[in-house]
Chain A
């Protein structure tokens, strides 16, 4: 056979063999058997030396052509097989993306802490400092220094856990007002403080009473603080806690440590003021007590009420949490049932 025909035959055979290859291994074997050192085409090319000078370039050109074609076909086929293999692998790796993921375990702050932090952050932003103190207090600071002398009828408003006749569990965080006032150097600027913490009352625990609960009190003292400032501050607080659309209403009240004293209602966040079960049909919910700091309180702390004055307010995070989340039993806050605690892990 002519060398030319032989080459054409090899090329055809190789091409048809490559076309049906299904693995990279077979492909490599084919490459070796045709284009390898001992491959058929290589062999043919080796026989070129016996050709005439006229034939050699013609056959040579043909042989190169055949070799290039095969090389190209091999490469394309390799690409095809690899793609198929990849597709097969990817298909096999398919997941049920709806299966649940592996969640990291996360805890959460207690709902009361969340409320307190929210309030703390609001007041930090307005330049207040946070003052914390002892839960066991002297009668003197808890009562007398906030204008509640011995045998004052208003002491009935707060049943007290006594440890000795002079020492008690604080019934409010107000003793910190006296303690901070007497330390504060007004030449260095006004006093703006909030005091969050646990307080205690001699109450029997039931759905709405707890012998231990929380309080946040605030106080601002400077040379020109008005009741209008108190109102604006409380409005800011109410909107932060219960939503931008809330309104507040002030009602006269009585606290020995403020005068004038006010009780503050917020328009019902559930019904918006039209009356519902949360606001007992009134459209208003009582959320805090406040007032202009009583001159006696200032005087007893060595602050001149002729020059300085200001306001104070106090609210109960337990009550706020109950209102805000519809918690119907205050004892839930202290039982620490994980099914309860977990409900407040959404941080929004």
Chain B
């Protein structure tokens, strides 16, 4: 809402308050001021000029030489190229020395040998937006009315001496989408009661009832509907004061009829519509829902196909307007219009909203109907419009209004106790202080003991419950005067839950291991969403995405990490070490919502260390990442054992370098190398990834931390080297050793793995170190030897291992 400071001055005494001060106070009291616009800022040397003579420049097809009276002793000769310039016009004249928007300076100059002592200006040259300039002034200079005083500053004539307070109206304060509403708001701030001019309307003896009948299909859709008629009008250009107000409010002046409806909308917040009565072709107005597929051609020339969700005004047969949204082509006011029907109504907000939304037709009018109206001024606005139209366009007002029967709207009474106010606001306000606030708001009230029974004026239809009044009191009192305390109450423990604690630990651990946290988009392409998923699931997609790029919710985090790695590698990074914690979205047949699971995933490619003068950069491999996970699992203290089972079930991972991670037999994640073909698509070298279901780790049973006595007795160790078939896995060897190790075996460590020269084809050599310890006594050589022999025998038997 663009509120003119000059316009407000008609209702309030603003002598003591500058536009800046007023804007600041409005912001702090209730409505955010988006900006303060001074359209004439920096403009000077612009005066009213009077063209005394005009002659065509000889060697030009469009230039004229004007002799302009600017109030100086001599006439100014000004060259003008505007097509609409004419002798005798009063025009806006920029004198030499004038500064126009865009830092354009006017100087005395010569055009084709002719002196030009200034410039005759168009509105565009003065900074007016194309969207508000009247059509007839679009391609030329702006003509001032005859009464303009030669030599005076031209700025006030076109509203450039005004300051526009641009208000950002929240949905609850639609009452401030009118100048009267803003005046009440400013009045509450300044402790002034706004004064409005009394509307007097002189009606002819002829009655509107003989001309038009009104009916509505459903009074819930159309609770109020009123028409007035003005006949014998002459549609012309509006007077300057009206054009000026409209332009500063961001509305283009059209003609003397339409401008009045817009002006009334700005003053009261009541949108009006003007019909050309003769074009209606009937004596009837019927408001109803549209039939499905019924059409209307709106004012903008577009044919619109309607449905029963749209409310329309008809002439009894065909639609003549979309209720509250836009008029129809068939009945709108033209230059030839003689008889005008002015509509002032209230329509169901939701219907107007739906229609404007579905037809993509948001207008000043629909945005007001959507948020509700001041039911107290439906008639006043209509009367004022008729009176103004008759005044400006000539014509006479028929007596009475054509309207439907409707109950008079009733003002609500809302009660609140002083104690409640102080209880909620944390203040110590007195009865007098609260009473003063309601008075400033122009709310009437009874005070019974400490209870205020407030009669809420209809213009504040946003107020209906106690909390609404609380807000009014708080904001007028001043939010910044409210004291500052911390809640006092029963104390509650503030602590992370198990999942939050573990998630933070996992994050710290991975960061300590060199991985940086990323946050990717959860919405991605349908193809990427499915990649690397731990399990097969349908994806969840948006009904109406903005783009293919962000359409489907991810099933895995790895997919995003691969994107992130590719982004970095493409920008000359030699490595990427990244992780992410976030939700993946699996299908869920038991609920309308997908099954969201919190996962953690990591990716490494290149090297985790930089090559330096002292160390080489060892490229990462599968075991780099696996080592990180192993240490993670061991520090979480999982009770059940983790297994890495080779898997070929993941098409985006290397079939020979992928393992499903199981915890106590249940799959909880994957680790593997990104399939070389997939890596190639992303221009990545060898890239290793993992993804875990964090929730499974949260739920997993943990070993309690227990103290073990530091052994007093020395342990001993035995090394074993064995030659086995290359298909035998380390896990198999470990299983055999662990099963046959005897009770003193503490730890088994693989310290060598060899395959190649000096080893039989198809075989590999493994070397393990077995550590033995008896915590109670010094181990005897023979005991260890006996146990060690058992391991050797078992390995030979179970795995055909050749012990070397």
Contact = CB atoms under 8 A, between A and B. Distances in A.
B573 A338 contact: yes
A228 B593 contact: no
Interface string A134-146: 1111100000000
A254 B353 CA distance: 20
A105 B470 contact: no
B516 A342 contact: yes
Interface string A170-205: 000000000000000000011010000010101110
A89 interface: no
A253 B592 CA distance: 34
Nearest to B474: A260
Given A127-B491, A259-B467, A341-B517, A105 B427 contact: no
Given A109-B517, A251-B28, A232 B592 contact: no
B518 interface: yes
Most buried by A among B486, B487, B553: B487
Taking residues whose C-beta sits less than 8 angstroms from the other chain, chain A's interface range is 35 or more
Given A153-B353, A162-B542, A231 B518 contact: no
Given A128-B494, A162-B543, A229-B487, A134 B353 contact: no
A298 B171 CA distance: 21
A260 B471 contact: yes
B543 A153 contact: no
A334 B500 contact: no
A190 B492 contact: yes
Contacts of A212: 521-523
Most buried by B among A117, A235, A338: A338
A52 interface: no
A233 B484 CA distance: 8
Given A99-B613, A164-B592, A236 B486 contact: yes
Contact of A336 (B427, B510, B564): B564
Contacts of B578: 107, 336, 338
Contacts of B370: 153
B170 interface: yes
A202 B592 contact: no
Contact of A134 (B467, B567, B593): B593
A108 B494 contact: no
Interface in A136-162: 136-138, 150-154, 156-157, 161-162
A225 B350 CA distance: 35
B171 A106 contact: no
A250 B471 CA distance: 13
A337 B494 contact: no
A231 B482 contact: yes
B493 A127 contact: yes
A186 B693 CA distance: 34
A189 B490 contact: yes
Contact of A338 (B545, B553, B576, B615): B576
A110 B507 CA distance: 10
A329 B521 CA distance: 16
A262 B545 CA distance: 33
Interface in B410-434: 423-427
A130 B353 contact: no
Contact of A107 (B27, B470, B495, B516): B516
A112 interface: yes
Contacts of A263: 32
B423 A224 contact: yes
B27 A251 contact: yes
A18 interface: no
Most buried by B among A128, A202, A341, A342: A341
Contacts of A256: 171
Contact of A127 (B31, B173, B494): B494
B519 interface: yes
A190 B427 CA distance: 22
Contacts of B496: 124, 130
B761 interface: no
6 contacts: A110-B516, A129-B495, A151-B349, A202-B546, A224-B489, A232-B484
Interface of A: 99-100, 102, 104-110, 112-113, 117, 123-130, 132, 134-138, 150-154, 156-157, 161-167, 169, 189-190, 192, 198, 200, 202-204, 211-212, 220, 222-229, 231-233, 235-236, 249-254, 256, 259-263, 292, 294-295, 309, 333-339, 341-342
